[in-house]
Amino acid sequence: MDRRTLLKSSGLLLGGLTLGNLVSSVTRASQDNQAASKTANVLITPTKEQPLLLNFNENSLGMSPKAQQAIIDALPQAFRYPDAAREQLIGKIAENHTLKVENISLGNGSSESIQAVIQMAIYQAQKTKQKVQVIVPNPTFNYAELYAQALGVDVVKVPLDNKLAFDISAMKKIADEFAGVSIIYLCNPNNPTATITPAEQIEAWINATSEKTFFLIDEAYAEFVTDPHFRSGIELIKREAKNVVVTRTFSKIYALAGLRVGYAVAHPDLIAQIEAFISIDNTNTAGAVAALSSLDDKTFLTISRTSVDTSRKIVTNALDKLGLEYLPSQANFIFHKVTGDVKTYQNRMKEYFIFVGREFPPATGWSRLTLGTPEEMTTFVSVLNEFRMKGWI
């Protein structure tokens, strides 16, 4: 189930979370911008109006104060089209990755970049009368799958292995045996497991394959990674790979989810093809200037990372004490086991106004939990401990 459908079915849109209290939670979050340095032993009281949202991998720190200021400063000129701000942002992203502006395509969130890449790759295959399929691990972030299905293209779902890692050899075999183009979606770190796939595995596959195997590497959470076995797919693009696109987003580490800024990185020839599927002027002025300022605010980047690291520690300490298994998280969420039925656990948390992530079949018995601020996670842990006392987990 995607986020929009989930929001509707959870009643969150109807059940009291109005724009008013969203705005006030943003204001509160911005006041919490120093959260990483704050003590984590303050408890907050989630309520119906101010629930604890640990379900969509948002960054509850709120955006950098400099990004907020940039939006305010840009408002008087917001009656103009966003070309200048977009151009500056593309330049800054390219510079940050030591790439050319021709390597970058902005998206209305990385969701739009993913959609455009999938549409482009399918169109290119069909234009040359080749069969096409999309191969995805299961479970993973499902937008590539949804956008491919909308075009009537077959999606092959390859279950994770018994360690909940990508089964690269199974995916490769399916691509190798297919008489046509295979579009491979690799989410690294993966959502929902928060684990990375080591660079050696991805690069060995890409280096050993022809251009009829096309890779979309979604690195929405790359900025949180500390594991040295991770290497961005952007390195392959620097080596002129023509069958690799990497997508990134400002929604996660930079906390700009509501402003919708993401981008694709690829060889200039591919970027030109992707751009044909992108809505013109897709990035709005507010999003573009906020993203630009975020890239300049290195202090915020450090706070954002440190905050998630602190929150992760709070949660893993608690899970260790409770004897609940979890995977090594390299993102702003963690995949952990719960005792008993996950849906029941999720509903009980809801009664405490805490929205935790859900189960992702076929990985049953596991729950995805977003790492909010340290004080939010301290609150979550106190409720989790209460659940243990009640014999619920």
Ligand X SMILES: Cc1ncc(COP(=O)(O)O)c(C=O)c1O
Q: Which positions lie near ligand X, rule CB under 6 A?
A: 57, 109-111, 141, 187, 191, 218, 220, 249, 251, 257, 262
Task: Output phi, psi for 107, to 5 deg.
Answer: -125, 155
Minimum CB–partner distance for residue 322 and ligand X (Å):
26
Query: What is the CB neighbour count within 10 angstroms for residue 128?
Result: 10
Cα 83 to Cα 38, 89, 265, distances in angstroms: 39, 10, 19
Q: By C-beta, is 55 or 243 nearer to ligand X?
A: 55
Q: By C-beta, is 292 or 384 nearer to ligand X?
A: 292
Minimum CB–partner distance for residue 257 and ligand X (Å):
5
Which residue's Cβ has the minimum distance to ligand X?
Answer: 109
Minimum CB–partner distance for residue 140 and ligand X (Å):
8
Minimum CB–partner distance for residue 11 and ligand X (Å):
20
Output the CA torsion sign for 238, 138, 317, 58.
positive
Minimum CB–partner distance for residue 261 and ligand X (Å):
7
Note whether 195 and 330 are within 8 A (CB). Answer: yes
Note whether 121 and 184 are within 8 A (CB). Answer: no
Q: By C-beta, is 186 or 384 nearer to ligand X?
A: 186
Q: By C-beta, is 363 or 393 nearer to ligand X?
A: 363
In angstroms, rounded to a whole number, what is the distance separating the alpha carbons of residues 249 and 141?
14
Minimum CB–partner distance for residue 161 and ligand X (Å):
20
Structure tokens at 180: 């046509």
Q: By C-beta, is 220 or 265 nearer to ligand X?
A: 220
**Is 143 buried (19+), middle (13-18) or exposed (0-12) by CB count in 10 A?**
buried
Minimum CB–partner distance for residue 222 and ligand X (Å):
10
Output the CA torsion sign for 88, 94, 95, 96.
positive
Cα 131 to Cα 149, 152, 186, 307, 373, distances in angstroms: 15, 12, 21, 46, 47
Minimum CB–partner distance for residue 386 and ligand X (Å):
29
Q: By C-beta, is 111 or 285 nearer to ligand X?
A: 111
Q: By C-beta, is 318 or 331 nearer to ligand X?
A: 331
Q: By C-beta, is 82 or 189 nearer to ligand X?
A: 189
Give the 3-state secondary structure of residue 94.
helix
Alpha helix ranges (H) inside the chain: 3-10, 19-31, 65-74, 83-96, 110-127, 143-150, 168-176, 199-207, 234-238, 268-275, 285-296, 298-322, 342-351, 374-389
Structure tokens at 107: 């998206």
In angstroms, rounded to a whole number, what is the distance separating the alpha carbons of residues 339 and 346?
12
In angstroms, rounded to a whole number, what is the distance separating the alpha carbons of residues 26 and 276?
35
Minimum CB–partner distance for residue 354 and ligand X (Å):
19
Note whether 246 and 266 are within 8 A (CB). Answer: yes
Q: By C-beta, is 218 or 376 nearer to ligand X?
A: 218
Q: By C-beta, is 85 or 393 nearer to ligand X?
A: 85
Minimum CB–partner distance for residue 305 and ligand X (Å):
17
In angstroms, rounded to a whole number, what is the distance separating the alpha carbons of residues 354 and 15?
13
User: Looking at this protein, which amino acid is placed at residue 75?
Assistant: L
Give the 3-state secondary structure of residue 182.
strand
